[in-house]
Amino acid sequence: MDFAFSDREELLRKSVREWAEQELPPRMEEMEETGEFPMDLMPAMGRMGFCGVITPKQYGGTEMGNLARILVLEELGTVCPAIPMAMQVHHMCTYALVTNGSEAQKEKYLPPLVKGETMGVVAVTDPSGGSDVAGMQTSAEKKGDTWILNGRKCFITNSHHSDIWVVIAKTGEGRKGLSAFIVEKDFPGAVLGRKEHKVGLRGANTGEMAFQDCEVPAENLLGEEGAGMGVALSDITNCGRPGMTAVGLGILNAVLKEAAKFANERTLYGKPIARLQSIQNHLAEIYQDRELARLAAYRVGWMLDQGMRVDTESALAKSFACEAAARSARKAIELHGSYGIMNEYAVQRLLRDAIVTIPAGGTAEIAKLVMSRAALAAAS
């Protein structure tokens, strides 16, 4: 067993950190106020290799792998968690195309995504679906050489900044009743809905999209007809949950840094509060959460790079890291006293950001359903 990162991974971590510390802080206030993702940074993130970190080189990616992806998202999230929220869904779009796309689809759609010319979308959730993926109402019906999509998707990351949407829709009944499609923003009948105003991760755009007799050419079916549930679940398991784990981990890094800084700077009774044992307990618990989230996150990235299944591990890592981020951010606020709930202090934003990670990529209850299968198998 080897817990050391390679020189290449250390270098990647350092370069992402330097870039993020320089480019992101000046943008964060505006992101917080407007709820807009800074699209003008996308080409730079494309050049830095963030957008194509898990995309094969033949389509312009850097193909650095899943552990490298976790490191990129973690470092971005340590500075500004909304950026990896958006980026991880962008990766989910590239992942869906790489693993299910025809050669023609990959050649057409991956290069602009990898270069950061647009953002990627994966639209699974609709108002009647959510955790019950098969319960979705968004439908697709084949008419000649065209699929006609009708329905509405909600809570979709990057909705208003994307030209390329991977959309899951109902094409039949039962487990093979869903199919995946690549929808271009400008296809007739593809319509953007409202932008959501979230409490946290505000700089990651979330919104609705609708399909009103939307015409999708037959060649834009992604994978086989009836394979949509597999496209969605493998994307959520292998990309979405590991990505959300990294967002949670980035928040934990930031929470720990803010809490330790405040504990050293705030003086009471003539000494820094870091000398009070209950404050040390808070810090130790935040540190413990961060370290365990790190182990869980890196294990999933490593396992994916070995070609191993991660159904249980990615559910565990995601639910642990996101819950730990919220728990630790709350402790950090308490450690700040009343300063913690003032806008000038980052910990209040970090708590808001952490809360938003909990349903994204599947709720904690659904993660427990996945883990309970492994728990029950322990009896045999």
Ligand X SMILES: Cc1cc2nc3c(=O)[nH]c(=O)nc-3n(C[C@H](O)[C@H](O)[C@H](O)COP(=O)(O)OP(=O)(O)OC[C@H]3O[C@@H](n4cnc5c(N)ncnc54)[C@H](O)[C@@H]3O)c2cc1C
Least distance (Å) from ligand X to the CB of residue 257? 23
User: Contact with ligand X (CB under 6 A): which of 45, 79, 123, 183?
Assistant: 123
First to last CA, the chain: 26
Least distance (Å) from ligand X to the CB of residue 365? 3
Amino acid identity, position 325 = A
CA distance 221 to 111: 19
272: contact with ligand X by CB under 6 A:
no
Give the contact letters, 214-243, x = binds to ligand X (CB under 6 A), - = no: ------------------------------
141: contact with ligand X by CB under 6 A:
no
User: Contact with ligand X (CB under 6 A): which of 72, 156, 182, 351?
Assistant: 156
Q: If we measure between CA atoms, which residue out of 101, 82, 102 comes closest to residue 90?
A: 82
139: contact with ligand X by CB under 6 A:
no
Triad 244, 47, 102: Cα angle to 5°: 70
CA distance 356 to 346: 16
User: Contact with ligand X (CB under 6 A): which of 80, 82, 87, 89?
Assistant: 89
Stretch that binds ligand X, among 215-223, 286-294, 326-334, 363-371 (CB under 6 A): 363-371
178: contact with ligand X by CB under 6 A:
no
Least distance (Å) from ligand X to the CB of residue 359? 4
User: Contact with ligand X (CB under 6 A): which of 80, 93, 113, 122?
Assistant: 122
Q: Is the Cβ of residue 183 or residue 366 nearer to ligand X in the bound state?
A: 366
Q: Is the Cβ of residue 341 or residue 369 nearer to ligand X in the bound state?
A: 369
Least distance (Å) from ligand X to the CB of residue 339? 27
CA distance 112 to 107: 10
User: Contact with ligand X (CB under 6 A): which of 130, 172, 189, 272?
Assistant: 130
Map the footprint of ligand X across residues 188-217, applying CB under 6 A. 201, 206
Annotate 327-377 with DSSP letters as a single string. HHHHHHHHHTGGGGGSTTSHHHHHHHHHHHHTTTTS-HHHHHHHHHHHHHH
CA distance 155 to 150: 17
35: contact with ligand X by CB under 6 A:
no
Which residues have a Cβ under 8 Å from the Cβ of 272 and sit 6 or more positions away? 263, 264, 265, 266
356: contact with ligand X by CB under 6 A:
yes
100: contact with ligand X by CB under 6 A:
no
CA distance 105 to 87: 21
CA distance 192 to 208: 6
Phi, psi (degrees; rounded to nearest 5) at 283: -65, -40
Give the footprint of ligand X on this chain (CB under 6 A): 89, 122-125, 130-131, 155-157, 201, 206, 356, 359-360, 362-363, 365-366, 369
